[in-house]
Amino acid sequence: MKICMLVEQWFPQVGGVENHVRFLTKGLTNAGHEVHIIVRNLKLKGMIPYKIEKEFTKSVTITRLGPSSIFESDIGRALYAVLSSLKVIKDNSFDIFHAHSFTATIPALLGKHILKIPTILTMHTSHFGKWYSITNQILRSGIYSAIETKTLFNNKFDRIITVNKSLAKTAMKLGVSKDKLVYIPNAIELEEFDSYKLDLSASSQEKTVLFVGRLTPVKGLHTLLKAISLVLEESKHYKFLIAGEGPLKNDLAEYIYKNNLQEHVHLLGVQTGNDLIRLYKTSNAVVLSSYDEGCPVSILEAWGARLPVVATSVGGTKEIVEHGKNGLLVPPGNPKALARALIKILTDEKLARLLGDNGRAMVEKEYNWKTTVKKILAIYQDVRRT
């Protein structure tokens, strides 16, 4: 098959969607299929956009559209929607369209309408009635919700894949037929974690907590920083690492400075590949303080490294984290509860080891890319037959 992936989010931007498309593409090409990825032309300070693509085979073509812009640029999003639509309509050689963001639904549905090609959408998140309302971005929230409503309500997609079960409920509220919905959670490549050899001589004496994600309001990072202050009141022998980039970076740096946290909290910027795996392997726990999540890859990666997780009970997180079995769950926006859970995981080594081992077993069984690629290929084949 010749498959067209439409995704607004791409490298050098790094996150769950980007890695989802990356590993799905690797699995599809390994199975003998040809993949074309049509993406926005994104820029991120200090990052080389082509670095991650060296691992792709000759069966992958990546097309960047529009002028180079930052991820948050609404003009960049609009241009991508227009240019990708023109690109899709011009090329009528694809067997499948697979969209991975709501901006990408526009070219995908145009391609389906004009070229009569089967079209899939993976819902990684939902903007409908969600957290944008608490960020004073009412106009942006309205625009995104309108796009989501229009593209889902017309029920034109052949299948919609949701990475958590609550997204399926949202899709049905927006008019999607239940028989078009398929739940397939995110996954990770365990081989990357297992093949990485850790230099034990470089291990730190301090216990380390790692956050991995975009620095945006939905991630609840100010709640995390308040919780860190409470943890440090109990002991100064802890270190907190924040890996990621985003619009809140300067604000977070200012908060860290004003609250004298700079000896214990470090903003690392984007981390990828072996650098990211090293962070997981040298940490003692992973924390996620979000107000909403799809199917958080950082939690799956933590379990890949046998780490316990402390996370907020929201969205897809509460579907995969079972409190007391493979992690600890706390309410969102509650720094005291988050601090108590972090202290518990950092002081109870037996519990931390149990949660990490149970998480690893869960990833091996349910969240690996070999299984996920087979499920998605089955959907492609089914919609082509029907």
Lowest mean pLDDT among 22-36, 104-118, 196-210: 196-210
Q: How confident is the model at residue 131 (pLDDT cuts 50, 70, 90)?
A: very low
The pLDDT assigned to 13 comes to 78
Of 77 and 53, the structure prediction assigns the larger pLDDT to 77
User: Which residue in 91, 85, 86 sits closest to 61, CA to CA?
Assistant: 91
**253 is written with which tokens?**
């740096």
Tell me the residue type at 352.
A
Mean pLDDT of 318-346: 97
pLDDT, the chain, mean: 89
What pLDDT score was predicted for residue 15? 82
For residue 313, count CB atoms less than 10 angstroms from its CB and return exposed for 0-12, middle for 13-18, buried for 19 or more: middle
The arithmetic mean of pLDDT across residues 119-146, rounded, is 67
Half-sphere exposure of 201 toward its Cβ, with a 13 Å CA cutoff?
0
Q: What is the pLDDT of residue 223?
A: 97
The whole model's pTM is what?
Answer: 0.88
Give yes or no for residue 301 having a pLDDT over 70.
Answer: yes
> Does 290 score more than 90 pLDDT?
yes
Q: Which domains does the chain have, with CATH numbers?
A: 2-187+368-385 (3.40.50.2000), 190-366 (3.40.50.2000)
Tokens standing for residue 94: 């694809």
Tokens of 324: 């007391």
* pLDDT of 29 above 80: yes
Q: Per-residue pLDDT for 104 more than 50?
A: yes
pLDDT digits (tens, 9 = 90+) for 64-91: 999 988 888 889 989 999 999 999 998 8
How far is residue 348 CA from its own chain's centroid?
29
With beta carbons less than 8 A apart as the criterion, state whether 11 and 54 touch.
no
pLDDT of residue 138: 57
pLDDT digits (tens, 9 = 90+) for 267-287: 999 898 889 999 999 999 999
Q: How confident is the model at residue 94 (pLDDT cuts 50, 70, 90)?
A: very high
Burial class (CB within 10 angstroms; exposed 0-12, middle 13-18, buried 19+) of 263: exposed
| DSSP symbol at 323 | B
Q: Beta strands 207-212 and 285-288: pairing type?
A: parallel
Comparing 166 with 330, the larger pLDDT belongs to 330
CB 39 within 8 A of CB 46: no
Q: Say if residue 140's pLDDT is above 80.
A: no
